[in-house]
Structure 1
């Protein structure tokens, strides 16, 4: 890939894309207009072939250096001195994009519980509106993990020959009953909050704390907790893991919104690349770009078998595996392994 001059600015730019055109959704509903919060860093090179579009996970935001600091940033693998890096906050999320707390254009009042259901295909369609707005005819790489990987795969299908590489990390082609089950128990926790159903920005906050605690159990492998939360003394109560999960729940509830969590977890459940396309294997075979599917050997949420399935059924697929004790969250932690895998992939394809 052509490198930029090191003298060009690499300051991150934050912006809002306002789309005044209606967005038809898979549910049959329509968003009359929407906005996406996004960041860019670096600049397009002369060939306009250095676009890296990063897709965040469930509760991520548009600044990948907040949550992927080991991979994105100055002197990192995706260095804005070399690439034009874009990351947009998803439709439905509460970090600046249109979400359940946004005002409906028709009424001027928040959507709350009337916000339409979204699918990963809908999210990908909204991102494509932003791509067109930015005048990007070609994307070198879309990359994402977990929900981000699901959205990236959907987008890879619809981008056709406008995309060179899709990197799908700890994700799948269709949401499994296991994932849907975990998400449903989290939504049940939110529903059990007595404030759920009220038209208030903090509705469901305590329930979200419990939901996050449930989620944390699926994001890690049992060995992770054995290593980090085992007791050094004999106890009957007040265990380290208990306070850890409560802390994680409170931490998320203080920065995220239960309504957005509900919408985005439903979007994750909806993921089925093969819906209306003759099944997942047929849909994967239609993807034209090179696909690197990365699994995690200890991931109990998005299993490595699901990642292998993607690589086996796309036309130009490669599978690689992260070895880690951290389970699903390894894609946010194991930077050295990720960098080695990514570097090898690009070298193999002469990028």
Structure 2
């Protein structure tokens, strides 16, 4: 791989300074498709221990996050905190398919415009959308992200990871890390040479061992919102005319899964705000009787009230007319909040990327392709189906259990599973299942009324407990403790407003 100057996409140009870009001339996906000149965007904080090279903390971002941990988990980053740059070399990479710098629908196909000598991309061509992958960007999986990020860590000289931590989609990645790389250079799935463990601890938060029907269904509804926008054009839309209404609607639907019913009720209730007076067409023909004018005006006002909040272009069945002012339409505060968030989101994200990432999450299943793990010679396996899948999942997660011999005798990582009590997307029973299937793991249920977003909001509960976990003798086995040199100033304001939107809820 070779480093290049960024940004590599319009959205990655929004990232604050400090994001790095590494291009891999070739990378083969789990599907067998080989990408050429694929960029990976990443950020780091702190310094790598020059001797042991194992004080690495890998942070994995969620669906619409970026490699900029300060933007969405800023309160946890700083000296003495969970993400302590004076102790750890903190690493976070942008996943494939995301618009924030790594290979995605918003980067150039095969990177053919990237010059390895200068490390530069053709900006003007790229920003116009010409040569972008668009909807043709191949499907990627969570395992693809883990595999290519491992190559970035190799490039940086990392020899072992102290801990992996992440929530939601990031939690999926966290669970995959020790299964894909129990040691630094495994022979293959389920086996490895006799090396020291590559990862000492993992902390999956608000996630699941496999993506369930509930989450898959919500993702499908969100994708259909995007598909139904007439500007979507099967993903071949120009950058200056994107399916904003569809993407905003998808974001609104997603927000309902990120919070809880109680949090919405307590925050908004039935409070309303006054909507700005809207312009209503009047009858232009002066010879129309006044009664017809009034009737037409009432009809148009009714239609406008019916379509209040509709962002799609109007297809009028009546001739253009003079604008008049109609009484303001009351809008519930909950509606205003969703619309504001939808409008804000489309300014920083891409519809094709959203489709891609939700499909990536749909593929998540720790047992996929690993049904043979842990099966003894001559042991009878259950017929393919639900029970067989459950048995396979149990065996796969068993590889992470304390006291288990796996991969040539390599010790498994310490596992701390975190759940949010009111999470309606990845419910607590899903995290309890992970805990139950991994012998020796610990479990923490964070009491919060905020739903799935609690993993981003409950800074104190998550930060304090997880910091103690990373300082425990079990988690620190084989790790040399603090390393000096890292310094971080005051946590900056969120570039995309992620932290502010959450904490000011």
TM-score, length-scaled by structure 1: 0.92
User: 2:305 corresponds to which residue?
Assistant: none
Q: Are residues 1:115 and 2:151 paired?
A: no
Q: Which moved more, 1:202-211 or 1:157-166?
A: 202-211
Distance 2:107 2:271 in 1: 48
2:58–2:164 CA contact under 8 A, matched in 1? yes
Question: What's the CA shift string for 1:311-351, capped at 9, x where partnerless?
Answer: 22124411111100101000101011002221332344353
Q: Is the 8 A contact 1:65 1:73 kept in 2?
A: no
Aligned length: 340
Matches of 2:335 and 2:151, distance apart in 1: 44
- 2:77 maps to 72
The residue correspondences of 1:251-266 to structure 2 (distance < 5 A) are: 251-266=344-359
Partner of 2:288: none
Q: Which residue is equivalent to 2:469?
A: 345
Q: How does 1:239-278 map to 2 (within 5 A)?
A: 239-278=332-371
Corresponding residue for residue 262 of structure 2: 223
Please say if residues 94 and 256 of structure 1, whose CA atoms lie closer than 8 Å, have aligned partners that are also in contact: yes
The equivalent residue for 1:20 is 25
Shift of 1:106: 7.7
The range that moved more, 294-303 or 26-35, is: 26-35
The structural deviation recorded for 1:171 is: 0.3
Matched with 2:47 is 43
Tell me by how many angstroms 1:26 deviates. 2.6
The structural deviation recorded for 1:25 is 2.0
Q: Distance in 2 between matches of 1:264 and 1:19?
A: 21
Q: Equivalent residues in 2 for 1:110-259 (5 A)?
A: 110-160=132-182, 161-197=197-233, 198-201=236-239, 202-232=241-271, 237-259=330-352
Separation in 2, partners of 1:274, 1:141: 22
What residue is the counterpart of 1:63 in the other structure?
A: 68
C-alpha deviation, 1:252, in angstroms:
1.0
Question: Shift in Å at residue 136 of structure 1?
Answer: 1.0
Q: Deviations over 1:92-120 (max 9, x none)?
A: 11111111121112876111111111111
Q: Could you tell me whether the CA contact under 8 Å between 2:55 and 2:160 is conserved in 1?
A: no
For 1:269 and 1:349, the matched residues in 2 are separated by: 36
Q: Who wins on radius of gyration, i.e. which is larger?
A: 2
Cα RMSD (Å): 2.0
What residue is the counterpart of 2:435 in the other structure? Answer: 311
Moved over 6 A (4+): 233-236
> Displacement, 1:70?
1.3
Q: How far off is 1:173 after superposition?
A: 0.6
TM-score (norm 2): 0.64
Alpha-carbon contact 1:224-1:326 (below 8 Å) kept: yes
Give the aligned partner of residue 285 of structure 1.
398
Q: Which secondary structure does the structure 2 equivalent of 1:32 belong to?
A: strand
**Which stretches in structure 1 are left out of the alignment for 5+ residues?**
1-11
Q: Is the 8 A contact 2:421 2:445 kept in 1?
A: yes
Change (3 A) 1:300 1:106: closer
Q: Helix, strand or coil for the counterpart of 2:19?
A: strand
1:8 alignment counterpart = none
CA distance in 2, matches of 1:33, 1:271: 26
